[in-house]
Amino acid sequence: MTSAVRRLAGPAAAAALAAAVVGYVGAVDPNQAGHYPTCPFLFVTGFYCPGCGSLRAIHAMAHLDLLTAVDRNPLTVAAVPLLLWTWLRWTRRAARGRARTWAAPPWAVWSLLGVILGFWLLRNLPGLEWLAP
Amino acid sequence: MRACGSVVVPLPPILYGEVTPMSTDGPYPPSAPEPDPGAPAPYGQPAPYGQPGPAQPPAYQQPGAYPGGYPAQPVYGAPAGPPPDNFLVWAILSTVLCCLPLGIVSIVYAAQVNDKWLRGDVAGATESARKAKQFAIWSAGVQAVVLVLIGIFYVGIFALALGTASTAP
């Protein structure tokens, strides 16, 4: 019993941290200047990075405004179901006390890298402003 | 070509029946096809090697009967046991939150972990995992430094503004 509790400490801590971050970003509006530091990449280069707009997307999702969230950063919204699924698998594994035996197929990880890099480029191009935050 | 079929497909019963009467030097079938001129061609072909892989050692009984015929242990699939952590989540977090090329490098190494692991390269996968972790940490470290520099920049502008305000007539 205690060992199961100890094994579930990791997933529980991750869930608590995620809830705290969503709660904070939902309460403290990133749309107002001065609440959060600017993205260093945007600050230095003037270009958007793939993560730009993710705070505003999390804020919108915390207020259940999915359309605005997709408008700010579609990758952040797409990451939510993926993270939930990974977290569920992690929790189930921890509850059963099993080690991870599954490794994501390499093509999936490589295409994820491609999507991030492509998104980074495309959202800075003229004519694709709808991808920009 | 026909020798290939007679060597590989029929297992001991037929081979023994054919070989033992004419050659008494060895009880094992491989000694008979070796001097046969038709034999080298089938041995050079990959087909007989690939298909009866698991069935071949029992057919020839002796591992030493084939010097250098087989690579010792070709590894095709993922090794047994849990794969190393590829730190992909940290790599992506450090890319997205820190917006730095170091985070991209970390993702590349994270992708290599699974790639090498599923090809059976345990040492390479572990090494890539170590580097993925390393670059994610460096990315976060550089991010912290940049944030501090931005803070100093703003404080400097603020101080400059105060200075000009106070010296203004």
pLDDT per residue rounded down to tens, chain B (169 residues): 444 444 444 444 433 434 444 444 444 444 444 444 444 444 444 444 444 444 444 444 444 444 444 444 444 567 777 788 888 888 887 777 666 778 888 888 988 898 898 888 889 999 999 998 888 888 888 888 887 888 888 888 888 887 776 655 5
| Whether B114 and A109 lie within 8 Å, measured CB to CB | yes
Establish if B100 belongs to a structural domain. yes
Do B55 and B111 lie in one domain? The reply is no
CB contact under 8 A, A37 and B147: yes
Instruction: For A63-118, write each residue's pLDDT tens digit.
Output: 999 999 999 999 999 989 988 998 999 999 998 888 887 888 888 888 988 999 99
The nearest alpha carbon in chain B to A117 belongs to B104
- Give a yes or no: residue B53 inside a domain: yes
Q: Which residue of A has its CA nearest to B96?
A: A51
Q: Does the beta-carbon distance from B95 to A104 stay under 8 Å?
A: no
Two tokens, residue A12? 């529980």
Please check whether residues B99 and B35 belong to one and the same domain. Answer: no
Distance CA A65, CA A43 (A): 27
B9/B59 same-domain check: yes
Looking at the structure, do residues B114 and B154 belong to the same domain, yes or no?
A: yes
Please answer yes or no on whether B97 and A100 come within 8 Å at the CB atom: no
Contact between chains at B99 and A51 (C-beta distance less than 8 A): yes
Beta-carbon contacts of B103 under 8 Å, excluding residues fewer than 6 positions away, are: B91, B92, B94, B95, B96, B135, B136, B139
As for how many domains chain B has, the answer is 2
CA gap B37, B41 in Å, rounded:
8
Whether residues B34 and B100 fall in one domain: no
Q: Which domain holds residue B21?
A: 2-65
Residue B86 to residue B70: CA distance in whole angstroms = 34
Same domain, residue pair B58 and B99: no
Chain A contact probe: residue of B85, B99, B117, B135 with most A CBs at under 10 A? B99
Residues B55, B113 within the same domain: no
Q: How far A113 CA sits from the closest chain B CA (Å)?
A: 7
Q: Is residue B151 part of a domain?
A: yes
Q: Domain for residue B75, yes or no?
A: no
d(CA A119, nearest CA chain B) in Å: 12
Chain B partners within 8 Å of A94 (Cβ): none
**Are A106 and B111 within 8 A, CB to CB?**
yes
- Is B95 inside a domain boundary? yes
What was the pLDDT predicted at B4?
Answer: 43
Residue B72 lies in a domain: no
> Is residue B97 domain-shared with residue B134, that is, in the same domain?
yes
**Are A103 and B78 contacting, i.e. CB atoms less than 8 angstroms apart?**
yes
**B100 and B43 fall within a common domain:** no
Say yes or no: B149 and B99 in one domain. Answer: yes
Is the domain of B153 the same as that of B103?
yes
CA distance A41 to A91: 35
- Using DSSP's 3-state secondary structure scheme, residue A1 falls into coil
Whether residue B100 sits in one domain with residue B60: no
Within a domain: B11: yes
User: How far apart, in whole angstroms, are the C-alpha atoms of residue B93 and residue B73?
Assistant: 39
Query: CB-based contacts of A3: which residues, under 8 Å, 6+ apart?
Result: A97
Q: Which amino acid is at A133?
A: P
